[in-house]
């Protein structure tokens, strides 16, 4: 049976360290979140982020918008937040109902892009320059480190999601391939992987017979079903084959929130030159 990677416990340790760091800062870091529409899952995720910030001593500002809000209105608010000294991180909760997310996110000052989605941050990451990386990708990497995972990796996801992960994996001398759920190469690519990272939003996409024995399996997918939250990995069958596996819930989700807090502190340091040399 696979070792269960407890994302909640690891995230709690990180959050305690963040709380200590925030308490020692000369001013309070601030996060602004733009939430558009009434999607229940998005509202839940934002409430979890609010709770994490408040418990860590980080100021949290929420800006709510209707589903039909124009992209220009969102961009104008972001441009205003870019100028505010009390706001160190800006996050647009995704997915957006109809607005162009790329257009909206591109308006964020890259130094305040705590989700790590701004193209400038991805570019700087590729070039090995100081940058804010995707909180999800950082959470995945922490879990892989916890599992002492090594070998080659397969990322089952969109190329957009995979891009920062591939860069971070390469830094750890881990080669990776990216494959989509509909690819004819899916089964072959998955079976060959020592490390499998899945983020497609398709419950039960990966089953036990598809997985290499002893592989480390990171399930990023989270879908609400009549049976509750389900991941992209069929946990029951894969647990018997894998060497380590993340549960859903309780795996990548808590780690993403914890690494968001890390990114807020990094943004604070980027915007506060005297503190920029402090390790996160």
Residues marked active site are found at 49, 93, 115
- The distance from CA 164 to its chain's CA centroid, rounded to whole angstroms, is 10
Per-residue exposure over 38-61, b if at least 16 CB sit within 10 Å of its own CB, e if not: eeeebeebbeebbebbeebebbbb
d(CA 149, CA 6): 15
d(CA 32, CA 92): 9
Quick check: 87 and 31 in contact, CB under 8 A?
yes
d(CA 48, CA 25): 23
Q: Minimal CA–CA distance to 265: which of 246, 279, 251?
A: 279
3-state secondary structure of 37: coil
Instruction: Give the single-character DSSP code of 10.
Output: H
């Amino acid at each position: 049976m696979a070792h269960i990677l407890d994302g909640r416990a690891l995230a709690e340790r990180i959050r305690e360290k963040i709380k200590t760091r925030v308490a020692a800062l000369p001013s309070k870091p601030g996060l602004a979140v733009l939430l558009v529409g009434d999607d229940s899952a998005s509202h839940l995720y934002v409430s979890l982020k609010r709770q994490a910030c408040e418990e860590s001593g980080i100021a949290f500002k929420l800006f709510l918008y209707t589903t039909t809000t124009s992209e220009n209105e969102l961009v104008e608010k972001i441009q205003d937040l870019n100028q505010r000294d009390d706001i160190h991180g800006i996050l647009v909760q995704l997915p957006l109902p109809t607005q162009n997310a790329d257009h909206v996110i591109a308006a964020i000052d890259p130094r305040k892009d705590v989700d790590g989605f701004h193209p400038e941050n991805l570019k700087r990451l590729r070039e090995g320059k100081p940058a804010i990386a995707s909180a999800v990708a950082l959470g995945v990497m922490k879990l892989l480190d916890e599992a002492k995972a090594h070998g080659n990796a397969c990322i089952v996801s969109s190329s957009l999601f995979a891009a920062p992960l591939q860069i971070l994996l390469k830094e750890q001398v881990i080669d990776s391939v990216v494959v989509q759920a509909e690819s004819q190469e899916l089964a072959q690519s998955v079976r060959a992987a020592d490390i499998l990272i899945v983020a497609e939003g398709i419950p039960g996409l990966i089953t036990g017979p598809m997985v290499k024995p002893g592989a480390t399996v990171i399930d990023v997918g989270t879908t609400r079903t009549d049976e509750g939250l389900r991941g992209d990995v069929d946990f029951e069958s894969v647990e018997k084959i894998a060497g380590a596996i993340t549960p859903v819930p309780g795996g990548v989700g808590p780690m993403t929130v914890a690494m968001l807090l890390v990114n807020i502190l990094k943004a604070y340091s980027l915007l506060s030159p005297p503190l920029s040399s402090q390790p996160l």
